[in-house]
């Protein structure tokens, strides 16, 4: 997720007591050491030559060595460097490009001029003064491939990369994983790549993407928390993230859409209508997994505040207003009308809010929320549902996202949902879903509508297509029919290990248990 | 000095006992802290705007801030960085160019394609993940100017460089300096810039240039040692360098033309006929400054070995052979015939060798060296001196360097020297002197010939012209009539603080004491 919202003179409100609890729940990071499995001289797939195992190739000016770890890791690294020829009489000047997928190496970073900062491209230039020696890089990278380009040595010596050592980190504990496999091999591969994705994003927080932007975003967190509950079950990490959002809020009490934890926890000056509404959803889902009276007492009222704030954005006509719709994400589809989505997500979240209010023994408030929910659903049905054509229409548009969220909000009956979803492919033509995040909600809508085979087929189709295109971890954005699409103006900036794409872990584990077998 | 000589499978011979004594003589480095005196937004002289003192300018993508320390320093540095606007949501990506003179900032490093490694250009690209924060750079730089170019931030924030802090080092002790000034203001300025040059080159060794190549070269060392004796008088540093050369030799006992001290002391696989001959010169001059029986006993025999090796390169005709002339530096003049120079430098060095042999109480050897010297001088006079035309001719060429070294070797009488030097300007047209190193020897030849006013005038002319062209420290290479000349294929790679150019310190102090006054 990446968005640019700017509030002048933004003064977020930190609650140190809540942040202390967030810090207390911070996970230990597990470390593991990795080395390249294979190496090429030149770019693989672009004329590069696979080097025999154990080859130490002396590199001269202009040479590029590509090292392949064989899988995706997040961590720091160091290079052990030696030389051939005379004593080095000048520094080695290296360009180091870290890539999650090979395609990133095929694009020239200097050609990227999109709206997300090019500073995220993992592209370093380093001078090494002392050779032989070890080059320990101070930053963390998310990568499978490292391309070492020799910008210069000197005519007197060649450079040898003796070894690359990666110190990978994650707060995911492999020992906690359920010992299961998916009996369908293709879906098992999807399941494992999903686990790998989640694992790489689990650091001190649930990051949205360890390459970019690394922040904690609510929308991503919701899907990570679901998948985590079905796999690594690091519930303290979910607790930590909930406390972080609760502890770093807007002056008026809203939770931000995303937050920073470094140098100090701080809300970003970005609020999203739908993301704010997911806060009560995530809290309620967390409490369903693990009783936590303290978190309920601390965070439950904050979660309910989000609902009340959102309800304040419902107009006299019973429909969410422009402030709500203009700040609703749903998916990267710029021309999509989001009124039905925003209304539906409010309805959807109110269901979780009722549950929280009941947990807090606020029966009156629970009743109020239920009443609001019913009223909003009624308006939504009247406004957005065309019963004759069995279509959802939002702002004159028929789009798949509106249909999906009307189903998830329970505005349509399962039977209506089933019949309306028959038009999904056609609706997609009005604007293809761009993110695995949206695909996740599409699949849950299919499940509600009883279209289990179609849901499974879509998991297979969509996530497998990423694997066929080279994914070791699932991607931030992907349209199988438009492999070059990027919401950011260039694929080199895309995140290829992105939290919100890990949900086959949750979907397969929770909704298709019959496909799982012990290992 | 920079040269590319390569010997395959070179196995230098280290003497650990001598190297231990070199290490014991290693100086403590004096540290001092510095901050910019002025700052520009944009390049000064290229449309940049001088910023009022104390201004903290928020920088966005594409902006360049130039910080000026007001003088030349060698050291490490750190930047204190803050931001304006929203919380940084992406790293700051910076290009940092360190420059000894402004001209370096006007050239694009990527346009440099000369034969010296471009890795010496002080050009870094750095990602800063945590803001506000401190960016401490791990490498050492030689610079007065730092250009900070913002390659990217993000639309959400601007970068502010709150402070640049330079931790400068030198092994020169300002308190040890003679408290004198040169009564002529222009020459006083030359004297002070010379001191500054020497100071910046005095680190753990006498470096040839703290920007490039940083190594210890014998030719540079000789002139540094002379100037050091007339100023900072860090005699232990001279001792250290002599022991380093003695402790890291070629398998056949030759001292290398230059050596490395990191990671371990090691001779470069470069030998120069003239540089090898300066080893006994430097040792003898050191012993004249400070009695050191241990150094004499340890290094005297090694110094004499260099002379014997060089004498082995004299042909049956009494003239140095092709091996000698092909490995003689003298100056960066590619087409220059160096036979007379090589022969003369051997004669010159033999004089110092006799003195060393006498110190070692090797009377027989001293006599032998004296005899060889006389014979070589006789041959040189017969071969290279045209008494009718009062010209020196070497390999059919009349060049100034040959005349200079024939004078320094004492092959010509002072009267002959005086008359021959009347043609110096004309000889220069055959190939202008390129380095302050060669100009130094030219001036000493003028002094021998009794042309004191001309010598002083040449110091004023040559070294002042560098100051007028922007020098805070004197340069590696400089032809006043050809300011863009570089021996390396591009001025951006030149060293603008270079040891062998510091000699006005020695020349004024030693040869023009009447110009000095106490301060």
pLDDT in tens, B103-131: 999 999 999 999 899 999 999 999 999 99
CA atoms within 13 A on the CB side of A160: 12
Output the average pLDDT for chain B: 96
Partners of residue A151 in chain B, C-beta under 8 Å: 118-119
Say which residue the tokens 């989000």 belong to.
Answer: A306
Contact B152 A90 (CB under 8 A): no
Residues 6+ apart with CB under 8 A from A37: A68, A69, A70
Min Cα distance B6 → chain A (Å) is 7
CA angle A457, A342, A386 (to 5 degrees): 70
Per-residue pLDDT at A251: 95
Per-residue pLDDT at B485: 84
Partners of residue B263 in chain A, C-beta under 8 Å: 130-133
**Residues of chain A with confidence (pLDDT) below 70:** 1-2
Cβ distance A177 to A195 under 8 Å? yes
- The gap from C-alpha A22 to its chain's centroid, in whole angstroms, comes to 21
Q: Which of B6, B133, B139 sits opposite A263 (nearest CB)?
A: B133
Partners of residue A124 in chain B, C-beta under 8 Å: 125, 127
Per-residue pLDDT at B55: 86
ipTM attached to this prediction: 0.95
Q: Would you call B30 helix, strand, or coil by DSSP? A: strand
DSSP H or E segment with residue B39: strand B38-41
Per-residue pLDDT at B1: 63
Query: Between the CA of residue B52 and those of A116, A414, B38, B57, B68, what are the distances in Å?
Result: 33, 70, 8, 10, 13
Q: Which of B87, B119, B151 sits opposite A93 (nearest CB)?
A: B119
Residues of chain A contacting B, Cβ within 8 Å:
4, 6-7, 10, 85-87, 89-93, 115-120, 124-125, 127, 129-133, 139, 151-156, 212-213, 215, 260, 262-263, 266, 268-269
Residue in chain A closest to B96 (alpha carbons) equals: A125
Contact A263 B132 (CB under 8 A): yes
Six-digit token string for B240: 């250290």
Residue in chain A closest to B130 (alpha carbons) equals: A263
Min Cα distance B471 → chain A (Å) is 25
User: Is pLDDT of B3 > 80?
Assistant: no
The C-alpha atoms of residue A474 and residue A506 are separated, in whole angstroms, by 14
DSSP H or E segment with residue B86: none
Residues of chain B contacting A, Cβ within 8 Å:
2, 4, 6-7, 10, 85-87, 89-93, 115-120, 124-125, 127, 129-133, 139, 151-156, 212-213, 215, 260, 262-263, 266, 268-269
Q: Which of A87, A129, A139 sits opposite B129 (nearest CB)?
A: A139
For the residues B146-156, what does the mean pLDDT come to?
96
Backbone φ and ψ of B39, nearest 5°: -145, 145
Contact A117 B86 (CB under 8 A): no
Q: Give residue-wise pLDDT tens across range B261-316.
A: 999 999 999 999 999 999 999 999 999 999 999 999 999 999 999 999 999 999 99
Q: How many CB pairs under 8 A join A and B?
A: 113
Q: Which of B200, B201, B194, B169 is nearest to B180 (CA)?
A: B194
Q: Which of B129, B132, B260 sits opposite A87 (nearest CB)?
A: B260
Partners of residue A156 in chain B, C-beta under 8 Å: 4, 6
User: Would you put residue B185 in left (φ > 0), alpha (ψ -120 to 50) or beta?
Assistant: alpha
Min Cα distance A140 → chain B (Å) is 10
Min Cα distance B489 → chain A (Å) is 15
User: Is pLDDT of B2 > 80?
Assistant: no
Q: Give residue-wise pLDDT tens across range A37-52.
A: 999 999 999 999 999 9
The C-alpha atoms of residue B213 and residue B197 are separated, in whole angstroms, by 15
3-state SS, one letter per residue, for B182-233: ECCHHHHHHHHHHHHHHHHHECCCECCCCCCCCCEEHHHHHHHHHHHHCCCC
3-state SS, one letter per residue, for A455-496: HHHHHHHHHHHHHHCCCCCCCCCCCCCCCCCCCCCCHHHCCC
The C-alpha atoms of residue B450 and residue B454 are separated, in whole angstroms, by 9
For the residues B80-90, what does the mean pLDDT come to?
96
Residue in chain A closest to B94 (alpha carbons) equals: A119
Radius of gyration of chain A (CA): 24
Q: Give residue-wise pLDDT tens across range A176-205.
A: 999 999 999 999 999 999 999 999 999 999
Cβ neighbourhood burial of A176 (10 Å; 0-12, 13-18, 19+)? exposed
Min Cα distance A248 → chain B (Å) is 13
| Structure letter (DSSP) for residue A507 | I
Partners of residue A85 in chain B, C-beta under 8 Å: 6
Six-digit token string for A353: 């809010």
Q: Which of A278, A342, A333, A340 is nearest to A477 (CA)?
A: A333
């Amino acid at each position: 997720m990446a968005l640019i919202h700017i509030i002048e003179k933004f003064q977020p409100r930190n609650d140190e007591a809540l942040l202390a609890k967030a810090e207390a729940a911070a996970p230990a990071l597990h470390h593991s050491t990795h080395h390249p499995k294979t190496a090429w001289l030149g770019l693989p797939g672009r004329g590069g030559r696979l080097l025999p195992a154990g080859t130490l190739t002396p590199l001269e000016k202009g040479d590029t060595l590509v090292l392949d770890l064989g899988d995706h890791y997040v961590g720091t690294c160091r290079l052990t460097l030696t030389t051939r020829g005379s004593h080095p009489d000048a520094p080695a000047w290296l360009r180091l490009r870290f890539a999650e997928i090979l395609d990133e190496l095929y694009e020239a970073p200097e050609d990227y001029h999109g709206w997300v900062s090019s500073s995220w491209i993992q592209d370093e230039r380093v001078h090494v003064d002392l050779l032989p020696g070890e080059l320990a890089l101070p930053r963390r990278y998310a990568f499978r491939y490292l391309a070492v380009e020799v910008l210069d040595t000197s005519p007197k010596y060649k450079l040898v990369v003796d070894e690359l050592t990666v110190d990978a980190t994650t707060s995911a504990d492999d020992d906690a994983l359920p010992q299961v496999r998916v009996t369908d091999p293709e879906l098992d591969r999807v399941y494992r790549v999903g686990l790998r994705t989640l694992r790489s994003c689990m650091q001190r927080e649930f990051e949205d993407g360890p390459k970019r932007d690394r922040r904690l975003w609510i929308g991503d967190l919701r899907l990570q928390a679901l998948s985590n509950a079905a796999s690594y079950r690091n519930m303290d990490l979910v607790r930590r993230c909930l406390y972080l959002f609760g502890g770093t809020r807007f002056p008026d009490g809203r939770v931000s859409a995303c937050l920073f934890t470094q140098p100090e926890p701080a809300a970003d000056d970005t609020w999203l209508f739908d993301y704010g509404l997911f806060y009560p959803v995530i809290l309620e889902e967390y409490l369903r997994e693990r009783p936590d009276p303290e978190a309920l007492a601390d965070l439950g009222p904050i979660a309910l505040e989000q609902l009340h704030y959102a309800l304040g954005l419902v107009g006299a006509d019973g429909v969410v207003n422009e402030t709500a719709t203009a700040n609703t994400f749903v998916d990267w589809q710029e021309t999509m009308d989001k009124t039905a989505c925003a209304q539906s997500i409010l309805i959807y979240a109110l269901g979780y809010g009722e549950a929280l209010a009941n947990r807090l023994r606020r029966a009156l408030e629970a009743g109020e929320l239920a009443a609001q929910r019913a009223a909003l659903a009624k308006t939504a049905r009247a406004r957005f549902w065309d019963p004759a054509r069995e279509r959802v229409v939002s702002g004159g548009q028929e789009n798949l996202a509106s249909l999906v969220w009307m189903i998830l909000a329970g505005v349509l009956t399962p039977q209506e949902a089933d019949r309306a979803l028959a038009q999904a492919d056609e609706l997609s033509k009005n604007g293809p879903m761009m993110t695995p995040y949206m695909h996740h909600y599409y699949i849950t809508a299919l499940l509600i509508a009883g279209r289990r085979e179609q849901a499974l087929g879509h998991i297979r189709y969509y996530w497998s297509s990423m694997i066929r295109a080279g994914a070791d971890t699932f991607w931030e954005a992907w349209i199988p029919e438009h492999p070059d699409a990027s919401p950011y103006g260039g694929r080199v900036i895309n995140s290829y290990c992105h939290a919100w794409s890990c949900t086959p872990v949750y979907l397969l584990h929770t909704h298709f248990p019959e496909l799982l077998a012990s290992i």
